[in-house]
Amino acid sequence: MIFYWEKILIPYEQAVEELKVKFKGIRNEYRRLDEYSPIEFVTGRVKAVSSILDKARRRNVPLERIEEEIEDIAGIRIMCQLVDDIEKVVELIRSRDGKDLKIVEERDYITNIKESGYRSYHIIIKYKIHTVFGEKEILAEIQIRTLAMNFWATIEHSLNYKFAKKIPEDIKQRLKNAAEAAFLLDKEMSAIKDEITDAQEIFQLKSSLIVDILRKIQNLYFTGKIKEIEGIQERFLVLQEHGDVSDLRQFSKELEDML
C-alpha cells in the first residue's frame, strides 16, 4: 500500500511543481516589464494521504475512484494583493483553457460566500503531465484569493483541525466577524488601488534602473574608462537614497555616454 500511494502521488507532485513554475513565470514577466503583477506569490501542495482518505470517507468515494472524484489532491494557491486582481488571474487561467490545461469547473466563493465566512475563487482543472510511465491527465485545484482572505482561511483551517471540524458556536461567530473585517480591509485596499499600483510600478522601475546603473559602473571600472570611480559611486549612493526615477534615468544616460 505504501508503494501504491507513492506511485499514485508522483504525478500530482510533478503537476504542482509545473503549475507553480508557470504562474511564478507570469508574475516575473510582469515585474521584468516593470508592470504591476496581479499575482503576488504562488504556493502549492499535494494532499496528505490521511487527508485524501478522510475526504473520500466523507464523500463515500471508493479507493478505486479517488483520482476521478477527489479534485484537490494536487493544489496550488495564487495570492493577490487586491480583490480586483482575482478576476485578472481568473482571466489569465481562462485564456489557457484548451492549451496547457482544461477548465472543468469554477467555484466563486467570493460572490457566494460560504456560511463560515470563507471567501476564495476555486478553479478545477485537468492537467496533462508526462511521466516515466507515460502521459497522464490529472485533476488539480487552483485557489485564488487575497492576502487577507488567505490569512483568515489559514486560521479557520487550524481551528477546524483543533476542534475536529466542530468549532464552538462562539468561536464560529467571531470567525465570521473576522471574515467581514478582512473583507473590509480588501475593500479599502481596492479603493486606493491606483495609488498602490502606481507605487509598485515606480518601485519596480527604480529597482531596474539601479541594477542597470550598477552594471554600467562595473563596466566602466573594468574597461578602465573612468578614474573617478569613487565620485561616481558616491553620487550613485545619494541618488539611490534620495533621487527619483527621472534622476536615476538621467544618471544612467550619463554613464551610457561614458562607455
Order of strands, edge to edge, in the sheet holding 134-146?
Answer: 41-46, 74-80, 134-146, 121-131, 102-108
List CB contacts of 102: < 8 A, sequence separation 6 or more.
Answer: 125, 126, 127
Pairing of the two strands 74-80 and 121-131: unpaired
Q: What is the rounded CA–CA span in Å between residue 222 and residue 224?
A: 5
Whether 12 contacts 130, CB under 8 Å:
no
H or E element at residue 105: strand 102-108
Query: Cα dist. 222→146, 160, 215, 229, 259 in Å?
Result: 46, 60, 11, 11, 11
Neighbours of 212 (CB within 10 A): 16
141 is catalytic: yes
Residue with cell 481551528: 159
Instruction: Pick the catalytic residue from 71, 141, 156, 201.
Output: 141
Distances (CA, A) of 157 to 40, 153, 196, 218: 22, 6, 30, 50
Cell of 131: 511521466
Active site residues: 141
